[in-house]
Structure 1
Amino acid sequence: MILQALYQLYQSLEANGKTTPEGMQWKPIPFVITITPEGLYVGIEDTRDKKEAPKGKLFLVAKDKKRTGSKSYETANLLWDHSGYVLNIPTDESERKAELAPLQHEAFLKLVNQLAEQHPQHEGVRAIRAFYAQQEHLKVPRELFTNPKETSPNIVFKLSNATDANEVIASDTNLVWGELAAEQSAGNEQVGRCLITGEVLPLARLHDTIKLPGGQANPSLISFNLSAFNSYGKEQGSNAPISQKASNAAMAAINVLLDKDAATNYKLGNTTFLFWSTLTHNQVVVEQEQNWGVSLDELMASYKEATFSGLINQEEEEEDAQENPSTTSKTKKKTKKEKADPTAESERVLKALRVMTSAKDGHISWQNQERFYLLGLIPNAKRVCVKLWMEGTVSEIVGNTIQHLKDLNIVSFKNRNPDEERPPLRSVYSLVRAVSTADSADKWSPILVQSIVESLIKGLPYPQSLQMACLDRVHHDGRSKYPVTELRAAILKAYINRKYKQPILAMALDLNNSHPAYVAGRAFALLERIQELAIPGVKANITDRYYRMASATPNMVFGRLFQLAQHHLTKIKRDSGGLGYYFERELGKVVNLLPGGQSALPAHFTPDEQSIFAVAYYHQKNYRDEKAEEKAAAKEVAEASEG
């Protein structure tokens, strides 16, 4: 199913000019040798640029050939390769490379002569053959290739009469396709029915590699290299008959998805997620009433931001800097680089996502049954491990992302009136960062990342591991100014509501919620505030000392905290007049929500109740307004004087 979806993607890309021709690739090549049609050496150009192209300019050339085994030196690339093949100059000063260079050069000359015989009228091939026949290659400055730090200094040829600066001889598709056809006919003794296309075609014995970041170079997605993987006497690719045509197309498609500048991939920890749809690249979504259009690439970029990468949220970055001082410098650099308004950017992304899911009002240009795919890959030595494969309609999967954002919507210290229809973007990256103790994403748990993505895509409850990791961070950050940050409160709120499939926890403070854990969380936040007013600048408040016990074993702690609060309230009444009466009344309102008062608090809170406690604590702290307190205090003083 994965390969079939990738093959269909390649067909769409090819039809819309979004991929390279079959058998070809864009390759950074640092050196271009210019020769005349008669094969005379003209000069050599170094295409490297420190800023724009540190590895060299990109040229369209034949794909790299696989080099394996003790005689890998016999395999030369089509009219381009490194200095060992092209000029008999070793790529470094090692003795081994010095021994290989003559053998590599001989293989390259053999390929040039074969091409000259197959294409006697080809001006470029004739020129390269003459270049070597006249020993013109000896005129190339050898010192360009003697830098021991330079690895694989690739070289390509260009004719002096070429009209296009990017026109090199190796870019001729006729040469590439001719050799590709010859290789396929020679290397495919077997012909069979392809499992992807259903056609009877030459079968692939080996499959192209892919460019997956984080592992060894050029790993394989499909391979059968040991007898243990063979069955019924079949070897290598015959175990799963896939035509060479379909194999090349599927691997080309996955490399397009993996392009570093593409909006179709995101690396989180050691897992690389790829996502695409069956929507064709020339389709444009248009909001008719507002005359607003967006391309498929922009839609995929919006999905990537909403689901995986997110946008910079100033509040979250500030909280993260307080919790992890080591990341402060990185945050500052990132904030300076990206100055876009997070609210405006969030609205832009949400607008694009809603258009993707809207099929009823005629605002989009496709049927609602278009498919959406998500593939999670992890490098494993020279192979690739498929960790996640999910598919559904565009509306289903994108709609689940929107619901995910709504579930995580919660009141913030900056915005105390959250908009239910315009939730902030809270990506998978930000969720895992908020609950992980490791600073580096490479050290995050791949199981946690995968389980969050699965629940998000399927619209299911979040994994319990996310809840437990979040509670653990809250408990261990008890000495932080914000043990329950906005994002952690949002995670716990969403976890509870998705688990019980009902809005147990609201976005902002719920004055009527009588759940014991919610009441206890509110009461603890008020007790904390009372202590702060009674002892300004206290170094270790009740949150530092008692938060974990209060949220886990409330009956053991709250009796002592209420007694302590009475002393604090007495001091506030003496120093600030009516403010003490105000908080005494507020605390009483909260405690009275429990049947029987403070004695109704249980001995233990479960993890779910601890989550509710944390959200209530956050809600109550967020609800606090110093101006409102001053106003209420003044009112208490006036009432007291009247009485």
Structure 2
Amino acid sequence: MSYLNELCRFYERMTRSADSGMPPDGMTAENISFALEIDTAGDLIAVADLRDGRGRGQRLFVPARVPRASNVAANFLWDNTGYALGVDGKGKEQRTRQTAAAFRELHQRLLAGCTDTHAVALLAFLERWQPAHFAALDVREALLDSNVVFRLTGEEGFLHDVPALREIWRAARRADDDGAGRGICLVSGEAGPIARIHPSVKGVVGAQSSGAALVSFNCPAFESYGKEQSFNAPVSEEAAAAYTSALNYLLAREHRQMVRIADTSLVFWADAPVPEESCLGDLFDLTSSDDSPQDRTQVERLKAILLALRRGSPLNEADAALSPDVRFFALGLAPNAARLSVRFWLSSTLGDMLRHCGRWYADLALERQFPEKEPEFPPLWLLLDRISTPGRNKIVPPALAGQLGRVILSGGRLPESLLGVVLARIHAERRPDYFRAALIKAWLCRNKHEEKDMTTLNTDEDNIGYRLGRVFALLEKAQRDALGREVNAPLRERYIGSASATPRLVFPMLLRLAQHHVTKAKKNQFDGYDVRFSRQVGDILAGMSDFPATLSLEDQGRFMLGYYHQNNANYRKNDTAQPDAGEE
């Protein structure tokens, strides 16, 4: 089944529960900042502030938002001040007059003949209100361009909650459906009115704040057989409203069913109501400490499951309360101008997803250099941060984040480009830290099927890249032992890139330089320092007749892993010397 079909099924399941937070048919959830309180004569009595302490509007179910981009189209019983009051901050007076006229005309047309007190009061307000009155309002600066609803003074509810007005809205939607083109819906397979323009999806990071379209056509090149706009991909009005409502629900932060992975917004849901439905996002970040006690309990539960899976325990033994056979769905969305692109779509069981996540963290498992600072389960956002291009706005390589999110949940090979990206950042910053070394290890385990234990130093490893990385760590330690912590030009900062790429050009010079460092270190450290150093280097280089001219990318990755392991071992054996803070 397609993701549109599953989103529609999710919408239907959620609307069967009154307290689910899913807007009912014909309604959408919008952030409303203010309520305009009017009396029966149509006078504006007060402006009620609905915002919370952070200045965010209250999320209310209001009549469904009309699709609009550059066109003028008003919403029923709510809108921004440009439509509802004829005042906005865009500086386009003619367009603002058009939007105010559209709002007034819509309500005069739909509410004509309605004798309900609320409808009469709203029509009177629209007749009496003048944009010039806006300057007299105390909250005019905060009110400008905000979304507003209406309320009759002295009442608690809003006009859009009045049964008579909601029935008028439903009747208007049925009339619009009758006038729409009809066809076979590709989602439901049923005949019905086809949506010409699909509702907008809001909440995707990087997309337009007003919303973006998942299905849309706006150029003749996209059209076929004379069908314009979304008639090219016939989806019924009902299905379009359902899948967009479901996406808007999932993308809302308060529902905890969305995770941001760089430029990808990942939403997930199940085909049945299970407690795990809102915790899948925690698998991407098991380090959160500021959540509620309930959230922290859930995170600890997930950690216990992953540790049990790492030990090889079956899932039912890892947590007997799980529902491993429940189907889970994951949809990765990325912004693309006024549209959304689908980075990936996954359909699997909860058990399979947990097993894949367990394998991911097992591949990442690595001895930590600073256990008090480095998490045992590195969150994906932090891994991406360590391989992103530094600057005011850190840049993660395009599509890489989405690919990693898909691999974590589905298994399979890691992107081939990942190793090159990690090495590029190490060469640029001269720092193979815990997170970058963990990504290298995961890439080697997953893509090269490394079965040897690479979580800590492996003295039996005979790979040339790994051995040279170990030697480089010993040479660096000899320099520090000789010159102290304040070294003007540490070997790592000057040579780690060239040493890992072209060993034959660099290592002979480094070994000659090391003789001076060892002689001086012998005076600073202990007698026999030179013997111990020579024995360590000799054991590692045993059987090597010459240094290779170049190392492949794989062996450069093993070089960095060998350096990281040996560097940890150097300072674990000697508690009086600690790794440089710059190597954190």
Superposed, 1:5-154 pairs within 5 Å as 5-16=6-17, 17-36=20-39, 38-39=40-41, 41=43, 43-47=45-49, 49=51, 52=53, 54=55, 56-67=57-68, 72=72, 75-83=73-81, 85-87=83-85, 94-97=92-95, 99-100=97-98, 103-104=101-102, 106-111=104-109, 114-117=110-113, 119-120=114-115, 122-129=116-123, 135=128, 142-144=135-137, 151-154=144-147
Inter-partner Cα distance in structure 2 for 1:590 and 1:174: 86
- Structure 2 residue ranges without an equivalent (≥5): 578-584
Which of 323, 340, 343 lines up with 1:387 in the alignment?
A: 343
One-letter amino acid of the counterpart of residue 549, structure 2: A
Summarize the Cα distance change of 1:430–1:242 in structure 2 as closer, same or farther, 3 Å threshold.
same
Q: Following TM superposition, by how much is the alpha carbon of 1:561 offset from its aligned partner in structure 2, in angstroms?
A: 2.9
Q: Following TM superposition, by how much is the alpha carbon of 1:137 offset from its aligned partner in structure 2, in angstroms?
A: 8.1
1:580 and 2:529 correspond: yes
Summarize the Cα distance change of 1:14–1:109 in structure 2 as closer, same or farther, 3 Å threshold.
closer
CA contact (8 A) 2:118 2:152 kept: yes
Which of 472, 497, 514 lines up with 2:462 in the alignment?
A: 514
Inter-partner Cα distance in structure 2 for 1:85 and 1:573: 81
TM-score normalised according to structure 1 size: 0.77
1:435 and 2:391 correspond: no
Inter-partner Cα distance in structure 2 for 1:42 and 1:427: 51
Cα distance per residue 1:247-283 (max 9 Å; x no partner) = 1110000001111334222333333222223241xx3
One-letter amino acid of the counterpart of residue 262, structure 2: G
Superposed, 1:167-182 pairs within 5 Å as 167-172=157-162, 175-176=165-166, 178-182=168-172
1:265 and 2:258 correspond: yes
CA contact (8 A) 2:81 2:144 kept: no
One-letter amino acid of the counterpart of residue 350, structure 1: K
- Structure 1 residue ranges without an equivalent (≥5): 285-294, 313-336, 632-643
Cα distance per residue 1:274-316 (max 9 Å; x no partner) = 2223241xx33xxxxxxxxxx532x23423425xxx648xxxx
CA contact (8 A) 2:4 2:187 kept: yes
- What percent of counterpart residues are identical? 27
Summarize the Cα distance change of 1:468–1:270 in structure 2 as closer, same or farther, 3 Å threshold.
same
Match of 2:555 in 1: 609
Q: Following TM superposition, by how much is the alpha carbon of 1:154 offset from its aligned partner in structure 2, in angstroms?
A: 3.9
Inter-partner Cα distance in structure 1 for 2:297 and 2:65: 44
Match of 2:403 in 1: 451
1:558 and 2:507 correspond: yes
Inter-partner Cα distance in structure 2 for 1:575 and 1:129: 91
Summarize the Cα distance change of 1:33–1:246 in structure 2 as closer, same or farther, 3 Å threshold.
same
Q: How big is the alpha-carbon RMSD for the aligned residues of Structure 1 and Structure 2?
A: 3.7
Which of 538, 560, 571 lines up with 2:487 in the alignment?
A: 538
Cα distance per residue 1:330-385 (max 9 Å; x no partner) = xxxxxxx8999x99996444236689997545955675333222222222232222
User: 3-state DSSP class of the match of 1:375?
Assistant: strand
Match of 1:639 in 2: none
CA contact (8 A) 1:555 1:601 kept: yes
Inter-partner Cα distance in structure 1 for 2:9 and 2:443: 37
Q: How many residues align?
A: 565
CA contact (8 A) 2:34 2:143 kept: no
1:302 and 2:282 correspond: yes
Q: Following TM superposition, by how much is the alpha carbon of 1:242 offset from its aligned partner in structure 2, in angstroms?
A: 1.9
CA contact (8 A) 1:470 1:488 kept: yes
Inter-partner Cα distance in structure 2 for 1:457 and 1:501: 19
User: 3-state DSSP class of the match of 2:160?
Assistant: helix
Q: Following TM superposition, by how much is the alpha carbon of 1:622 offset from its aligned partner in structure 2, in angstroms?
A: 0.5
Match of 2:520 in 1: 571
User: 3-state DSSP class of the match of 2:137?
Assistant: helix
One-letter amino acid of the counterpart of residue 107, structure 1: E
Summarize the Cα distance change of 1:177–1:355 in structure 2 as closer, same or farther, 3 Å threshold.
farther
Match of 1:490 in 2: 438
Q: Following TM superposition, by how much is the alpha carbon of 1:219 offset from its aligned partner in structure 2, in angstroms?
A: 1.6
Summarize the Cα distance change of 1:588–1:346 in structure 2 as closer, same or farther, 3 Å threshold.
farther
Inter-partner Cα distance in structure 2 for 1:525 and 1:355: 34
1:226 and 2:216 correspond: no
User: 3-state DSSP class of the match of 1:425?
Assistant: coil
Summarize the Cα distance change of 1:628–1:99 in structure 2 as closer, same or farther, 3 Å threshold.
closer
Q: Following TM superposition, by how much is the alpha carbon of 1:487 offset from its aligned partner in structure 2, in angstroms?
A: 1.0
Match of 2:539 in 1: 592
Summarize the Cα distance change of 1:91–1:259 in structure 2 as closer, same or farther, 3 Å threshold.
same
Which of 356, 373, 376 lines up with 1:400 in the alignment?
A: 356
TM-score normalised according to structure 2 size: 0.84
One-letter amino acid of the counterpart of residue 252, structure 1: S
Q: Following TM superposition, by how much is the alpha carbon of 1:90 offset from its aligned partner in structure 2, in angstroms?
A: 6.2
Inter-partner Cα distance in structure 2 for 1:203 and 1:619: 61
CA contact (8 A) 2:34 2:146 kept: yes
CA contact (8 A) 2:474 2:537 kept: no
Summarize the Cα distance change of 1:244–1:177 in structure 2 as closer, same or farther, 3 Å threshold.
farther
CA contact (8 A) 2:206 2:335 kept: yes
Q: In terms of mean alpha carbon deviation, does 213-222 or 356-365 score higher?
A: 356-365
Inter-partner Cα distance in structure 1 for 2:412 and 2:330: 16
CA radius of gyration, larger in:
1
Match of 1:290 in 2: none
Superposed, 1:328-347 pairs within 5 Å as 347=300
CA contact (8 A) 1:48 1:57 kept: yes
CA contact (8 A) 2:269 2:277 kept: no
One-letter amino acid of the counterpart of residue 233, structure 1: G
Match of 2:190 in 1: 199
Q: Following TM superposition, by how much is the alpha carbon of 1:410 offset from its aligned partner in structure 2, in angstroms?
A: 0.8
1:378 and 2:324 correspond: no
One-letter amino acid of the counterpart of residue 504, structure 2: N
User: 3-state DSSP class of the match of 2:207?
Assistant: coil
Summarize the Cα distance change of 1:218–1:587 in structure 2 as closer, same or farther, 3 Å threshold.
same
User: 3-state DSSP class of the match of 2:285?
Assistant: helix
Match of 1:462 in 2: 414
Summarize the Cα distance change of 1:476–1:67 in structure 2 as closer, same or farther, 3 Å threshold.
closer
Match of 1:256 in 2: 249
Match of 1:637 in 2: none
Cα distance per residue 1:605-633 (max 9 Å; x no partner) = 211111111111111111123764779xx
Inter-partner Cα distance in structure 1 for 2:291 and 2:315: 34
Summarize the Cα distance change of 1:174–1:372 in structure 2 as closer, same or farther, 3 Å threshold.
farther
Summarize the Cα distance change of 1:95–1:20 in structure 2 as closer, same or farther, 3 Å threshold.
closer
User: 3-state DSSP class of the match of 1:12?
Assistant: helix
Cα distance per residue 1:119-178 (max 9 Å; x no partner) = 54x342244345567x4889976522995785434443223342xx3x101123663454
Cα distance per residue 1:77-130 (max 9 Å; x no partner) = 22233445445556666532564366335414523xx3253x54x342244345
One-letter amino acid of the counterpart of residue 448, structure 1: L
User: 3-state DSSP class of the match of 2:343?
Assistant: strand
Inter-partner Cα distance in structure 2 for 1:460 and 1:304: 17
CA contact (8 A) 2:261 2:402 kept: no
Q: Following TM superposition, by how much is the alpha carbon of 1:4 offset from its aligned partner in structure 2, in angstroms?
A: 0.7
Which of 475, 482, 494 lines up with 2:427 in the alignment?
A: 475
Summarize the Cα distance change of 1:575–1:218 in structure 2 as closer, same or farther, 3 Å threshold.
closer
Summarize the Cα distance change of 1:89–1:18 in structure 2 as closer, same or farther, 3 Å threshold.
closer
1:209 and 2:200 correspond: yes
